[in-house]
Amino acid sequence: MPNLRLSTVILALLCVPTGWATTDTSYSQADVETAILLRDDAMSGTRAWNIVESLTTEVGPRLAGSEAEARARDWAVENLTRYGFENVRVEPFMIEGWRRGAETAEVVSPFPQKLAITSLGNSVATPANGVEAEVVLFESLAALRAAPDDSLKGKIAYVGHAMKRTQDGSSYGHFVRLRSAGAVEAGRRGAIATLIRSIGTDSHRMPHTGNMSYSSDVTPIPIAALSNPDADQLERMAQRGQSIRVKLTLTPSYTGVVESGNVVAELPGSDLADELVVIGGHLDSWDLGTGAIDDGAGVAITMEVLRRIKEAGLKPRRTIRLVLWGSEEVGLLGGYAYADKHKDTLRNHVIGTESDFGAGRIWKITRNINEQAKPVADKIAELVEPLGIAPGSNSARSSGPDLSPMNAQGFPGFRFVQDGSDYFDLHHTPDDTLDKIDPAAMDQNVAAYLVFVWMAANSNVSDWGWPAEQ
């Protein structure tokens, strides 16, 4: 049912003569007032939580390249079409598929007991009967890299490298290097398997998965993450000065080349329809939880933004494009596929942002834009300040993970930063479930994105900072 009150008020604003403008000609006062109305109406309640509830209940976990990820694309197309968006489509691409198998670990000696582990994505399997060997402990990735060649021959490497909690998750980039490089560095020194402390900040026996990669010059070895309490336990055993032996069994498998895809939908623009404002989240998730915060929440927030603009009967000047990326978790493959498919029209993408840091309240804006766009961005910051959002730096490295391949080519950066104080408690674990989401926090996200989208889609600024073409 359309929001008749909001539609009526906005219609009245749109009938205001075009001469009604601010002293800054970058935007009109009518667009400012519309953004305020959209913002305030969203804070009275949205359907964002219902959307993520539908995705996580009706589809569940959505591992990249899986049948479940395909069902998620079907779910997205069905709902986006029902909402009345235009140009709803799937843009397919192919990936190497991987599936989780059995995963067990136990200390054989000196203190026999089971360990809580999970395979890292893309890991090779152990032999069917597992591997058993002495464990050599390292406190950090740097310490592992300092170990001599062949020093781990026939052994299992364990690396601690404990991540610390931050509001903006800024430590993740440093600590996640262990997940990416641990197996390669251990294999280079002769190890037969690798165990790492989970890249996470919780104290639960729920290990964190995530993608890893191999190097062509090193024989692949299996790798798994220990939950933080189990990592603590292993380290305490080592403090007693006795040799530790562990048996590890992992049975993941590669499924060959399989289809993934990005789902795209649009609200077409009017006089600047060829210019694009992009928002979205990634549709895939890891398979341990239901992918509610990573990134069902981002999918729901951005879908709801478009739905509310459509419901209000608004026509933006620029086309607003929603992209629900596939296969983000296994290397930003949807982001790279999108950038490649649209390489001839990348500069039509004026500005954009992705929601992919959970469902917490937004507390800061970061950006990387030019002086021409600064008045519009400053006005956006002013309009979202009542939501508890402060302006941040103009040195953002990306607009979100899936937009980073475009950012690397010069796409201007803009990002809302959510409170991620507990994000890495849940990230890539079985605990990534719907009950962790606060609907009111999602509404605040929707309100902020509405302001951004409406102002960016309707301002008089088309150049937010693409570098000059060579």
How far is Cα 463 from Cα 470, in angstroms, rounded to an integer? Answer: 16
Lookup: tokens for 149: 């060649």
Q: In what order do the strands lie in the sheet with 193-197?
A: 113-115, 103-109, 245-250, 131-138, 156-159, 193-197, 223-226, 117-119
How far is Cα 42 from Cα 37, in angstroms, rounded to an integer? Answer: 8
Contact 25, 266 (CB under 8 A): no
Active site residue 385: no
Lookup: tokens for 186: 């251990």
Amino acid at 394: N
Three-state secondary structure along the chain?
CCCHHHHHHHHHHHCCCCCCECCCCCCEHHHHHHHHHHHHHHHCCCCHHHHHHHHHHHCCCCCCCCHHHHHHHHHHHHHHHHCCCEEEEEEEEEEEEEECCCEEEEEEECCCEEECEEECECCCCCCCCCEEEEEEEECCHHHHHHCCCCCCCCCEEEECCCCCCCCCCCCHHHHHHHHHHHHHHHHHCCCCEEEEECCCCCCCCCCCCCECCCCCCCCCCCEEEECHHHHHHHHHHHHCCCCCEEEEEECCEEEEEEEEEEEEEEECCCCEEEEEEEEEEECCCCCCCCCHHHHHHHHHHHHHHHHHHHHCCCCCCEEEEEEEECCCCCCCHHHHHHHHHCHHHHHHEEEEEECCCCCCCEEEEEEECCCCCHHHHHHHHHHHHHHCCEECCCCCCCCCHHHHHHHCCCCCEEEEEECCCCHHHHCCCCCCCHHHCCHHHHHHHHHHHHHHHHHHHHCCCCCCCCCCCC
Q: Of 135, 289, 264, 278, give the one whose Cα is nearest residue 204.
A: 289
The active-site residue, picked from 266, 304, 328, 329, is 328
- Please report how many Cα atoms fall inside a 13 Å half-sphere around the Cα of residue 420, on the Cβ side: 23
Lookup: tokens for 465: 């900072």
Q: Of 103, 107, 130, 106, give the one whose Cα is nearest residue 119.
A: 103
Q: Which residues are catalytic?
A: 328
